[in-house]
Amino acid sequence: MKNEFLVAVTQISAERHLPKEVVLEAIEQALILAYKRNFGAAQSIDVRIDPNTGQARVFVEKEAVEEVEDQRTQISLQEARQIDAEAVPGSIIRIEKTPKTFGRIAAQTAKQVILQRIREAERETLYADWSDRLGELVLGTVRNIDRSGNVILSLGRAEALMPRSEQIPTEHYSRGQKLRTYIYEVEKTSRGPRIRISRTHRKLLRRLMESEVPEVFNGTVEIKAIAREPGSRSKVAVTATQPGLDPVGSCVGMRGVRIQNVVNELNGEKIDIVAWAPDEKDFVANALSPAKVEHVWLDPNTRTATVVVPDGQLSLAIGKEGQNARLAAKLTGWRIDIKSLSEAAEEAERRAKEEAEAAVREAELAAKREAAMALLREAERALAEEEEQAAAAVEAEAAPKIAPAGDVEAEVAAETAPAEEVEPPAAEAPAVAEALETTALPTEAPAEAGAKPEIGRKKAPAWEGEEDPELDKEQQRLKEQRKKTRRQESLVYDEESGTLIRHPRRKESRRQRDWEESTEW
């Protein structure tokens, strides 16, 4: 028959849900502390409790030395060899010194140490147990509601806290109410594990589906995505991993029994089960259930899905206050733009008209650009021809004229021959004389009194009478060059009209032009 000590150890282990070895270890630590309080703290103490008989034995560890200096930690080599024949200097000798009884203070200290060690072991065990249950569904009883609105649930040996932010807005809690919640955080503290639970977490719906639908629990039906607005409505996308299995029908159940149990657990929250599809267009169309979708266009750059529904299905697709479209966007990850058939047709017509107008404008601009390029090419060609003609004329004038040998001899003979008077014919003589009289200019005109000087006539310089052929050619070339430069600078292309415009140039005065011509040399 076991003694009372082992019975007490077994009872504590059962009440605290602790292993028997943990309780015995706590008692050993308490006995070590009590022995040091009575017999000195400098000694190395070890306590062993027999798990079968419950007998405790205390051992003191001492070092074997030749000459003992400290009786508490050292033992002579001769005494050590009486206990262990193979002892040598430096060996550790275990000496049993189990006291018959402890003092009152030592016993009280042992009791406190045992209780503290048991509480620490209990907290460690609780934390290990609940940390393993992180992400699971748990059933608890409402124990209290504090002033901040936080709900404290009793989970048996532990307590859990449900913050106000994790409560469903449409629910009201009372003491003693049973709730199924989701554990989303377990924190280790000095007072034990701090467990936080939630009623609004998306994974709460997943765990409820696993508990109600066997196909979801065993993996033949997989939940791909969940979008939830707690207390109002949720959408769940499911797919089958086994061919021939209807995932939506499996989750709904016969006459909706399975999904109705989940709805009742969430106090009437509506749940839509939709079929997941690998094609993004089909998935977006299914996510807008129960509305029917005609067409879906996806824009990967902006992650926008344009959905076209029948005119009578527009309000159903959008939902109350846009809830259906909002949940579908959360479920699929696409920004959804919903339009009716009439709106889509009007927009398509408007886009086609805008594209046609843009094409016409582009064609007109292309034609204008081509015409402008043709005019520019024609102008460049004309300028090039004029430059070539001017250059040829300059070269022709600059080339020296070589007369034949016979003509040169005739000219020399004419120059050496005496001048002969050449009489005009008789019929032409009076006309020639009359022309000479009219064209003859007086060498010196008498200045009449009151005569006004001529205006607008430029007096020729003294050297004007002497003609220089090289100077005339140079002036002619400079005039051609200035004329060409003026023609090039006056041609301007107008983008709006698509034509070449010749800007009017300011006409130079005669005095300025005569001065420039006279100073060019």
Residue environment code for 435-470, b if the CB has 16+ CB neighbours within 10 A, otherwise e: eeeeeeeeeeeeeeeeeeeeeeeeeeeeeeeeeeee
Q: Pull the structure tokens for residue 26.
A: 């706590």
Query: What residue ranges in 146-248 does DSSP mark as E strands?
Result: 151-154, 159-162, 178-189, 192-198, 221-229, 233-240
More confident residue, 403 or 384: 384
Q: Quickly state the pLDDT bin for 427 (edges 50, 70, 90).
A: very low
Identify the pLDDT of residue 2: 56
Instruction: Tell me how far apart the alpha carbons of residues 324 and 301 are, in angstroms, rounded to a whole number.
Output: 24
Q: Which helix (H) or strand (E) holds 305?
A: strand 304-309
Question: Which residues, at least 6 apart from 474, have a Cβ–Cβ distance to it below 8 Å?
Answer: 520, 521
| Type of residue at 114 | I
User: Taken in order 113, 119, 124, 125, is the CA torsion positive or negative?
Assistant: positive
Percent of the chain with pLDDT over 70: 76
Instruction: Tell me how far apart the alpha carbons of residues 203 and 433 are, in angstroms, rounded to a whole number.
Output: 131
Identify the pLDDT of residue 298: 93
Which pTM was predicted? 0.57
Residue 485 CA: distances (Å) to CA of 236, 386, 503: 81, 12, 13
Instruction: Tell me how far apart the alpha carbons of residues 94 and 46 are, in angstroms, rounded to a whole number.
Output: 9
pLDDT greater than 50 at residue 442: no
DSSP secondary structure letter of residue 256 = G
- Out of 180-189, 464-473, 474-483, least confident range: 464-473
